[in-house]
Structure 1
Amino acid sequence: MSEPLPEASLNDKIALVTGSSRGIGADTVRWLAAAGADVVINFRNKAPRAQKLADEIREGGRKALVVGADLTDADSVSAMMQSVNDEYGRIDILVLNASGGMEANMGEDYALKLNRDAQLGVLDAAMPLLGSGSRVVFVTSHQAHFIRTTPTMPEYEPVALSKRAGEDALRERIPELTERGIEFVVVSGDMIEGTITATLLERANPGAIASRREEAGKLYNVSEFAAEVARAAVEPVPADNTRLVGDISSFSAE
């Protein structure tokens, strides 16, 4: 797959990607660093993977700061931003990628805490580091983005509803962000082959991914979707602040 961004197009830029020790977040970091960005790799409990990714980025000639933080814990997020401030002094690209809610034994309201409350908490904590010309990217799924008009699999519905709640809450901040010269864009994609969410869905509903692949004609893999997230960090923001990736013919517009 060709590089999604021109070489050196992000030189002197600082990018923080939440949930970036693996999956879409890790590949987004790779794409941004390949374009010249220095990066912040955030993880919750995958420190060795995060360090391995950081070593890879450094070998490519870019700086990489690894910061563990539980995004549902305000003090943890505050400490992460302090580390970023100490190392870089600013954030040019903030990718709100971390999400979840299908994990076992995390509490009844965990999905809402992570997918709505934590997203706002990270944005609030990052605001002092975001200057005019910076950009915030929120990563979601079609199943969440269109949940009000298109039902999803029962196993995924609580996550979809919480992700949409997070998107709505972030969209309410657009006027404030715009006033500060900060751009905001939502990137929505279909089920992504190879993600933790897809794996958990398949476990709860065997055949769900294959069925969706057949219906859509194609599902993006992790690297392909991460490339779209990276593009969303630099390409012009659509008028409705929404970048839809892949087929949406199965989803009803609001």
Structure 2
Amino acid sequence: MSRRVALVTGASRGIGAETARILARAGTRVVVNYRAKTKRAEQVVADIVAADGAAAAVQADLTDVVQLDAMFDRVRAVHGRIDALVLNASGGMERGADPGYALRLNRDAQLAVLDRAAALMPHGSRVVFVTSHLAHFHGSRPGLAAYESVARSKRAGEDALRARMPWLAERGISLVVISGDMIDGTITVTLLDRMRPGLIEARRAQAGTIPTVEEFAAEVAAATTAPVATGHTFYVGCTDHYSVPADPHDVVPGFGSTPHRR
């Protein structure tokens, strides 16, 4: 893996940052994408370099076409290729975000990143889309009202990416999805727990255990090279998320549709 290059979006903290560290320890040169937290991204790079790895931080708001093009111009100039694209960045719960932001980031920006990255991805490269059970099973199982707009937009993003699989296959690029239970320590789960105090403990009691950031990131990193067919879905943690004890007013019902399961 010493010559592989991976681009990890949303990698200044949490799952993205830990995924970047794990990939770098395995010898991959990592591009650490971030939107605004420069110091955090630079610290991730410093951690990697201190451990004899190779990484660089590249700022780009994925919803901004100009910034996106600038990021890929730099990747092209420095590395010339991308062997693994980890689509980790997501959002929609930010304070002050407009109603359409979640869909622009979780669907439209994912496609915009993929379109640009594919031009740099050689035969045999891999795209990994990172999502949650609440999003992956959206529409087929009850969910949380507080997370509804994010779950709906991330499900739309997954569907849109899957629709590109024939196009990717023509280029020898595979796409896999990795879906996680509530991940202990992530900003999203922390925010949900603040809205619904006790949510994390209720989920842990219901599922027996929930993955940590480090555990989930290890699975994301492994998915970049796992010998599976395109379209495969990896599940991390219990998939029986819909029975989390909840206030009836905070539950969005499922409608019986069946998501992709492989």
TM-score (norm 1): 0.93
Determine helix, strand or coil for the equivalent of 1:131: coil
Inter-partner Cα distance in structure 1 for 2:85 and 2:230: 20
**Please, which of 69, 79, 89 is the counterpart of residue 60 of structure 2?**
69
Indicate whether 1:108 and 2:106 are aligned: no
Q: Could you say what the CA RMSD is over the residues aligned between the two structures, in angstroms? A: 1.4
Determine helix, strand or coil for the equivalent of 1:129: coil
**Please, which of 229, 236, 241 is the counterpart of residue 220 of structure 2?**
229
Tell me, yes or no, if the aligned pair for 1:185 and 1:232 is still in contact at 8 Å.
yes
Inter-partner Cα distance in structure 1 for 2:68 and 2:230: 31
Deviation digits for residues 76-123 of structure 1, max 9, x if unmatched?
111101111111010000000000111111101111111101100110
Offset of residue 239 of structure 1: 6.3
Offset of residue 249 of structure 1: 3.3
Offset of residue 240 of structure 1: 4.4
Determine helix, strand or coil for the equivalent of 2:83: strand
Distance 1:239 1:179, change over 3 A: closer
Indicate whether 1:209 and 2:200 are aligned: yes
**Please, which of 36, 39, 56 is the counterpart of residue 48 of structure 1?**
39
Structure 2, unaligned runs of 5 or more: 243-255
Distance 1:96 1:239, change over 3 A: closer
Inter-partner Cα distance in structure 2 for 1:208 and 1:237: 34
Letter in structure 2 aligned against 1:73: D
Inter-partner Cα distance in structure 2 for 1:215 and 1:152: 15
The aligned counterpart of 1:16 is: 7
The aligned counterpart of 2:232 is: 241
The aligned counterpart of 1:117 is: 108
Offset of residue 244 of structure 1: 1.1
Inter-partner Cα distance in structure 1 for 2:140 and 2:170: 31
Offset of residue 60 of structure 1: 2.2
Tell me, yes or no, if the aligned pair for 2:107 and 2:153 is still in contact at 8 Å.
yes
Indicate whether 1:184 and 2:175 are aligned: yes
Determine helix, strand or coil for the equivalent of 1:237: coil
Letter in structure 2 aligned against 1:241: H
**Please, which of 8, 13, 18 is the counterpart of residue 27 of structure 1?**
18
Offset of residue 128 of structure 1: 1.2
Offset of residue 38 of structure 1: 0.6
Offset of residue 61 of structure 1: 2.2
Letter in structure 2 aligned against 1:176: W
Inter-partner Cα distance in structure 2 for 1:170 and 1:197: 22
Tell me, yes or no, if the aligned pair for 1:155 and 1:205 is still in contact at 8 Å.
no
The aligned counterpart of 1:7 is: none
Deviation digits for residues 160-188 of structure 1, max 9, x if unmatched?
01000000000000011011000110000
Offset of residue 126 of structure 1: 1.0
Number of residue pairs matched by the alignment: 245
The aligned counterpart of 2:142 is: 151
Letter in structure 1 aligned against 2:84: I
Inter-partner Cα distance in structure 2 for 1:141 and 1:238: 20
* Deviating more after overlay: 235-244 vs 101-110: 235-244
Deviation digits for residues 126-157 of structure 1, max 9, x if unmatched?
12111111100000001100112111111011
Deviation digits for residues 182-201 of structure 1, max 9, x if unmatched?
01100000010111101111
Letter in structure 2 aligned against 1:29: A
Distance 1:64 1:248, change over 3 A: same
The aligned counterpart of 1:89 is: 80
The percentage of counterpart residues that share the same residue type is 55
The aligned counterpart of 1:4 is: none
